[in-house]
């Protein structure tokens, strides 16, 4: 039969593998235990000749299931890239010979480890089929950009340059946003000495001149349905008219709102016209247009100005922002230069507790300010009060350690950024009492006006991290949100200045286009970019428990009218969290399933108790823990010969049946390694590690039912940098097994 599965096992003896392992023994294991129809050894499998040997067997011998026993699956990806076949990688280099010390006393157990991995790999690949994609939609080469500030304008221009059409939506009557209201911006190029033009006018001109960019002013997004590659967007104007457009991806660039300085009564804001925010000062500077700025209270020329840094920021006080907004210190230096431009003799003082000037030219800009005569003083301001000479700024001089004050014609509060996010779909709905308490304490509120109006079961807008910023993975995927195909950019994502916002916009635009391109081919987006697999389920076995729908981190699963899950392939990131959540095990992927992992678990040789050779199952996240083990082995950190490591897409994909099967079949311990969870999560799939930890917290009940000690199962958060700790965690389990004894299920 043409579709008959034929396993080919290919074993590499290079990189020292043949020096440490018995190749003939591995071949026998592959053919006898792994039931491989073809088994060949090559001394340089990733070479052109080695790869051609495999390809010839595919073309001429009908091999369509590849078990490649060589280096880690993370290495030589380009070499072992065969199409139209199922494939797994058996890690003999990093996972066996580098993970174990040399010496005759280790030869037997090292060989046993390698034999197990060959056996596991052959049986894993048998449970795979070749993913083909679902062909849900054609490629729609269009991007929706929500927000017409400097971030949105940049995203629109950059998207248009790639050949994509752009729909740019701005809820106000003009483009430019807050950056358009600036007099000048912090310099973006050497020598970083003077404020420069904002460039917003040029961006607006470029947008208006582009025939592929459609601008919609006084417009909001009233509905977002569909998925990457085929989002259906309803755009409604103030007059009430609505039109629908189709786009491939979305960039949310809804920007920021200025912090409400009315929450700073100690600085006399709102009580004295000569106390202004950094945003309001830009309006004064724009009106002066290079001339001397006038005091708001009486129109007199301003001869002395004091800037109060971190006004309502970096503070745990009620109503204050706990974070640094990043742009304020450079902005105060820039604004102090406005005064020096019109009057070099003007007194300009910047009072700060910590001065931060991020960016390539931050230090140069600070030095330029010093040369112009701007005074920088380390002080903590306690109060601003009117005086006969104008305003008295009272502060604690942090250098001299004493209370003092200074006079000023104008006080500028360096207030921060509040993200212009929609409502957090995962936020708990506050009770009436909580609302009243928040109002009474002047707690900072985030806008609850929907930005995207998503037609998703999981809510109308992008999820938040702390402080109302849209969710993103700061380190690995800075633009990605939990809604596939939708990318946030600019200060709605994190505090930033205009240059960072433009860089952000470029990155988000390119990621949006990549997402649309992948969706058009039925391929996954980040982090498994290009993966053609997608969730499949057996409807007849589904109990409609909705756990997959609730636990999916990406809103990829809806429900039909009968309550069965509806999997949306192009929203899916292929993490397998739904598979791990399913209590009846009816969800799977073509190349990753309960069976592919289950087959590996079941095909480890479990010695009886008299052999005194324990077995430890390690389920390691392929994004952090597995690379950490690889790199640890490369750097000489060894782990127990009793361990058998299986990489999983995400710890969230771990189904508890794997644990119960392993324990009931005689494994002595199980170690699960996932990513860091919480607001500062490192999980590539956002919530997968957290979901797995919740599930594993209940595994104690299963252990009790099996009359096993709770110590036999351990769950850890592991970073990719834990190259010494990750192997040690396995060794710790080996020590535990030695202490509590081997599993009674071996008897």
> In terms of CATH architecture, what is 142-257+420-520?
3-Layer(bba) Sandwich (3.50)
**Which pLDDT does position 568 carry in this prediction?**
85
Whole-number Cα distances in Å, 642 to 263, 369, 449, 709: 61, 63, 56, 19
- What is the tens place of the pLDDT at every residue in 150-185? 999 999 999 999 999 999 999 999 999 999 999 999
- What is the tens place of the pLDDT at every residue in 226-243? 999 999 999 999 888 999
Q: Is the model's pLDDT at 525 over the cut of 90?
A: no
**Which pLDDT does position 513 carry in this prediction?**
96
The encoded tokens of residue 616 equal: 């430890």
Mean pLDDT of 680-688: 86
Residue 632: pLDDT band (50, 70, 90) is: very high
**Which pLDDT does position 382 carry in this prediction?**
96
Mean pLDDT of 610-629: 94
**Which pLDDT does position 360 carry in this prediction?**
84
- What is the tens place of the pLDDT at every residue in 686-721? 888 888 888 888 787 778 887 889 999 999 999 999
Burial class (CB in 10 A: 0-12, 13-18, 19+), 538: exposed
CATH of domain 260-415: 3.50.50.60
Residue range(s) in the chain whose domain bears CATH number 3.40.50: 1-130
Positions of E strands within 185-333: 213-216, 219-225, 231-237, 242-247, 249-252, 256-258, 275-277, 304-308
Contact 66, 87 (CB under 8 A): yes
- Percent of the residues in the chain that have a pLDDT greater than 70, as a whole number: 96
- Residue 92 phi/psi, 5-degree rounding, is -90, -25
Q: What is the pTM of this model?
A: 0.89
Which string of b and e fits 153-173 if b means at least 16 CB within 10 Å? bbbbbbbbeeebbbbbbbbee
- What is the tens place of the pLDDT at every residue in 385-416? 999 889 999 999 999 999 999 999 999 999 99
Partnered with residue 487 across adjacent β-strands are 251, 480
Q: Is the model's pLDDT at 527 over the cut of 90?
A: no
- Percent of the residues in the chain that have a pLDDT greater than 90, as a whole number: 79
Distance CA 159, CA 685 (A): 26
In the sheet with 347-352, reading across from the earlier edge strand, the strands are 275-277, 410-413, 304-308, 347-352, 375-387, 390-397, 402-408
Distance CA 424, CA 469 (A): 10
Residue range(s) in the chain whose domain bears CATH number 3.50.50.60: 142-257+420-520, 260-415
**Which pLDDT does position 38 carry in this prediction?**
96
Q: Which of 208-222, 266-280, 418-432 has the lowest mean pLDDT?
A: 418-432
Residue 486: pLDDT band (50, 70, 90) is: very high
**Which pLDDT does position 446 carry in this prediction?**
42
**Which pLDDT does position 132 carry in this prediction?**
83
Which string of b and e fits 443-477 if b means at least 16 CB within 10 Å? ebebeeebbbbbebebbbbbbbbebbbbbbbeebb
- Asked if omega into 527 is within 30° of 0 (cis), the reply is yes
Distance CA 592, CA 570 (A): 17
CA angle 662-110-32, nearest 5°?
A: 70
Q: Is the model's pLDDT at 435 over the cut of 80?
A: no
Contact 662, 590 (CB under 8 A): no
Pick the more confident residue, 79 or 560. Answer: 79
**Which pLDDT does position 679 carry in this prediction?**
74
CATH of domain 1-130: 3.40.50
- What is the tens place of the pLDDT at every residue in 38-51? 999 999 999 999 99
- What is the tens place of the pLDDT at every residue in 53-91? 999 999 999 999 999 999 999 999 999 999 999 999 999
The encoded tokens of residue 567 equal: 């999997």
Contact 492, 255 (CB under 8 A): yes
Distance CA 565, CA 548 (A): 8
**Which pLDDT does position 240 carry in this prediction?**
87
Whole-number Cα distances in Å, 9 to 64, 211, 397, 447: 11, 56, 74, 58
The encoded tokens of residue 67 equal: 């078990």
**Which pLDDT does position 560 carry in this prediction?**
86
**Which pLDDT does position 682 carry in this prediction?**
85
Q: Which of 64-68, 217-221, 287-291, 370-374 has the lowest mean pLDDT?
A: 287-291
Contact 254, 451 (CB under 8 A): yes
The encoded tokens of residue 39 equal: 């088994």
Task: For CA atoms 495, 496, 500, 505, give the dihedral sign.
Answer: positive
- Residue 473 phi/psi, 5-degree rounding, is -95, 100
Q: Is the model's pLDDT at 1 over the cut of 50?
A: no
- Residue 445 phi/psi, 5-degree rounding, is -110, 140
Task: For CA atoms 549, 465, 254, 203, give the dihedral sign.
Answer: negative
- Residue 250 phi/psi, 5-degree rounding, is -135, 140
- Residue 236 phi/psi, 5-degree rounding, is -120, 135
Task: Using alpha carbons, select from 243, 246, 231, 343 the residue that is nearest to residue 292.
Answer: 343
The encoded tokens of residue 461 equal: 């807008």
Q: Is the model's pLDDT at 747 over the cut of 80?
A: no
Contact 620, 673 (CB under 8 A): yes
**Which pLDDT does position 447 carry in this prediction?**
45
Pick the more confident residue, 480 or 184. Answer: 184
The encoded tokens of residue 697 equal: 């917290």
Mean pLDDT of 192-213: 97
Q: Is the model's pLDDT at 445 over the cut of 50?
A: no
Contact 313, 320 (CB under 8 A): yes
Residue given tokens 């205009």 in the structure block: 498
- What is the tens place of the pLDDT at every residue in 230-282? 999 999 998 889 999 999 999 999 999 999 999 999 999 999 999 999 999 99
């Amino acid at each position: 039969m043409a579709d008959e599965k034929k396993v080919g096992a290919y074993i590499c003896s290079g990189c020292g593998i043949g020096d440490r392992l018995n190749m003939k023994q591995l071949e026998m294991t592959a053919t006898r235990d792994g039931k491989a129809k073809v088994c060949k050894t090559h001394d340089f499998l990733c070479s052109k000749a080695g790869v051609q040997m495999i390809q010839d067997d595919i073309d001429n011998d009908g091999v369509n299931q590849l078990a490649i026993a060589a280096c880690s699956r993370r290495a030589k990806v380009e070499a072992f890239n065969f199409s139209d076949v199922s494939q797994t990688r058996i890690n003999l280099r990093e996972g066996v010979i580098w993970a174990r010390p040399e010496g005759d006393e280790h030869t037997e157990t090292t060989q046993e480890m390698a034999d197990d991995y060959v056996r596991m790999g052959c049986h894993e690949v048998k449970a795979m089929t070749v993913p083909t994609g679902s062909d849900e939609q054609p490629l729609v080469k269009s991007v929706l950009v929500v927000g017409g500030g400097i971030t949105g304008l940049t995203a629109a221009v950059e998207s248009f340059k790639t050949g994509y059409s752009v729909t740019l939506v701005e809820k106000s009557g003009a483009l430019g946003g807050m950056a358009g209201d600036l007099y000048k911006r912090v310099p973006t190029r050497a020598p970083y000495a003077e404020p420069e033009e904002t460039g917003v006018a040029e961006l607006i001109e470029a947008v208006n001149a582009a025939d592929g960019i459609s601008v919609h002013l006084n417009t909001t997004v009233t509905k977002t349905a569909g998925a990457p590659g085929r989002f259906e967007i309803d755009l409604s104007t103030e007059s009430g008219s609505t039109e629908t457009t189709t786009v491939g991806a979305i960039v949310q660039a809804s920007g920021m709102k200025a912090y409400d300085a009315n929450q700073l009564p100690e600085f006399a804001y709102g009580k004295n016209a000569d106390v202004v925010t950094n945003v309001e000062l830009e309006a004064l500077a724009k009106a002066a247009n290079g001339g001397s700025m006038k005091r708001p209270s009486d129109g007199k020329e301003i001869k002395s100005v004091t800037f109060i840094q971190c006004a309502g920021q970096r503070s745990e006080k009620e109503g204050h922002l706990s974070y640094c907004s990043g742009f304020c210190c450079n902005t105060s230096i820039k604004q102090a230069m406005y005064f020096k431009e019109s009057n070099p003799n003007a007194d300009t003082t910047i009072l700060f507790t910590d001065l931060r000037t991020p960016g390539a030219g931050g230090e140069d800009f600070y030095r330029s300010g010093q040369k112009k005569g701007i005074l920088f003083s380390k002080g903590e301001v306690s109060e601003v009060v009117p005086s006969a000479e104008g305003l008295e700024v009272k502060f604690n001089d942090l250098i001299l350690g004493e209370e003092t004050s200074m006079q000023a014609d104008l006080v500028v509060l360096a207030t921060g950024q509040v993200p212009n996010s929609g409502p957090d779909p995962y936020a708990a709905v506050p009770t009436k009492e909580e609302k009243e308490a928040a109002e009474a304490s002047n707690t900072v509120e985030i806008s609850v006006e929907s930005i995207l109006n998503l037609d998703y079961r999981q809510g109308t807008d992008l999820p938040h991290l702390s402080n109302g910023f849209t969710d993103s993975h700061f380190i690995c995927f800075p633009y990605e949100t939990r809604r596939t195909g939708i990318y946030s950019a600019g200060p709605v994502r994190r505090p930033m200045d205009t240059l960072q916002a433009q860089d952000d916009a470029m990155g988000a635009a390119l990621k949006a286009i990549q997402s649309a391109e992948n969706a058009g081919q039925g391929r996954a987006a980040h982090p498994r970019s290009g993966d053609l697999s997608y969730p499949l389920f057996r409807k007849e076995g589904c109990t409609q428990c909705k756990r997959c729908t609730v636990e999916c981190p990406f809103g990829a699963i809806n429900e039909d009218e009968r309550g069965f899950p509806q999997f949306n392939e192009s929203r899916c990131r292929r993490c397998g969290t739904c598979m791990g959540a399913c209590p009846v095990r009816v969800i799977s992927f073509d190349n990753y399933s309960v069976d592919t992992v289950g087959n590996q678990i079941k095909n480890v040789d479990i010695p009886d108790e008299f052999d005194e050779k324990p077995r430890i199952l390690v389920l390691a996240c392929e994004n952090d823990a597995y690379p950490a083990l690889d790199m640890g082995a490369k750097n000489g950190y060894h782990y127990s010969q009793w361990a058998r490591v299986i990489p999983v897409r995400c710890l969230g994909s771990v189904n508890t049946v794997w644990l119960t099967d392993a324990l009931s079949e005689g494994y002595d311990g199980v170690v699960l390694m996932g990513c860091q969870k919480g607001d500062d999560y490192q999980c590539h799939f956002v919530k997968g590690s957290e979901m797995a930890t919740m599930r594993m917290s209940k595994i104690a009940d299963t252990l009790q039912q099996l009359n096993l000690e709770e110590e036999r199962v351990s769950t850890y958060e592991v970073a990719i940098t834990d190259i010494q700790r990750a192997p040690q965690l396995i060794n710790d389990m080996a020590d535990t097994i030695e202490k509590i004894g081997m599993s009674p299920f071996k008897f």
